[in-house]
Amino acid sequence: GLIAWLTEHQPTAVIDATHPFAAQMSRHASQACSRVGVPLLRLQRPGWTPREGDRWTRVASLAAAAEALPAWGRRPLLTTGQDLRPFAALTLPVVARMVSQPSGPAPADLTVILGRPPWSLDAERAVLAEHRIDVVVTKDSGGPTAAKLLAAREAGIPVIVVDRPPAEGSAVVASVDEAMAWLNRSGRRPPRAAAARPADGVRGGGPR
């Protein structure tokens, strides 16, 4: 679908501004742009950086996070999205925060907190205290430091941070201004701004 859209509309460039963990869409964009011969830029906000007082350990995947969990705590809070399959074999009492109930395999002892971000610092403090959380698992989505990380720092709770997948594309920038500068330098900026709708069956997504 993306190849067909690029062929029909013939853009001068593509900027992939999907979520840092939208690996499949980014991979499709890279493959489609390579096939059609359209330059691709990855716009990806910087990842989080630990500060004094943080107790972080970084892992490469959700599966690695699940494997590391028992060594860091016994009452984890998962803020890793809807896919709980990597954690399904855990026998610990797990608290997971997500936007809807999980539909696939999940830990047997599971408490789900439904809601959508952003979460306030007071709300994060309350979740950690109410559920007696002793380790947090999260993805490095980047952007402003998340309140859950601040709350974990205050409480001295360790955090397992899942690294984002490698960025696709020949160039990577961290801001819209840098993306515009790339377009201007390369002469690929269109004469006027235009919004294009993805082809049928192609799902996109902006920074979240």
Q: How many CB atoms lie within 10 A of CB 170?
A: 11
Give the C-alpha separation, 71 to 65, whole Å: 10
Q: Determine contact, residues 48/162, Cβ cutoff 8 Å.
A: no
CA distances from 199 to 16, 97, 117 (A): 15, 32, 29
Give the C-alpha separation, 91 to 106, whole Å: 11
The pTM score is: 0.79
Provide the pLDDT for residue 189. Answer: 60
Helix-strand-coil split of the chain, %, nearest 5: 30, 20, 50
pLDDT classification of 196: cutoffs 50, 70, 90: very low
Provide the pLDDT for residue 145. Answer: 84
Give 130's strand partners.
Answer: none
Which range of 13-17, 130-134, 168-172, 175-179 scores highest in mean pLDDT? It is 130-134
Phi, psi of 119 (to 5 degrees): -110, 135
Provide the pLDDT for residue 132. Answer: 97
* 144 upstream amide cis, omega within 30 of 0: no
The DSSP H or E segment spanning 149 is: helix 147-155
Provide the pLDDT for residue 143. Answer: 83
Q: How many CB atoms lie within 10 A of CB 109?
A: 11
52: its two tokens: 């004094």
78: its two tokens: 């998962």
Q: What is the pLDDT of residues 9-51, one digit of tens each?
A: 999 999 999 988 888 899 999 999 999 999 999 999 899 999 9
User: Measured in whole angstroms, how far is the alpha carbon of residue 205 from the centre of its chain?
Assistant: 11
Report the side by side order of strands in the sheet with 94-98.
Answer: 56-59, 159-162, 135-139, 76-79, 94-98, 110-114
Residue 132 DSSP label: T
C-alpha angle 60-202-166 in degrees, rounded to nearest 5: 20
Percentage of residues in the chain having pLDDT higher than 90: 70
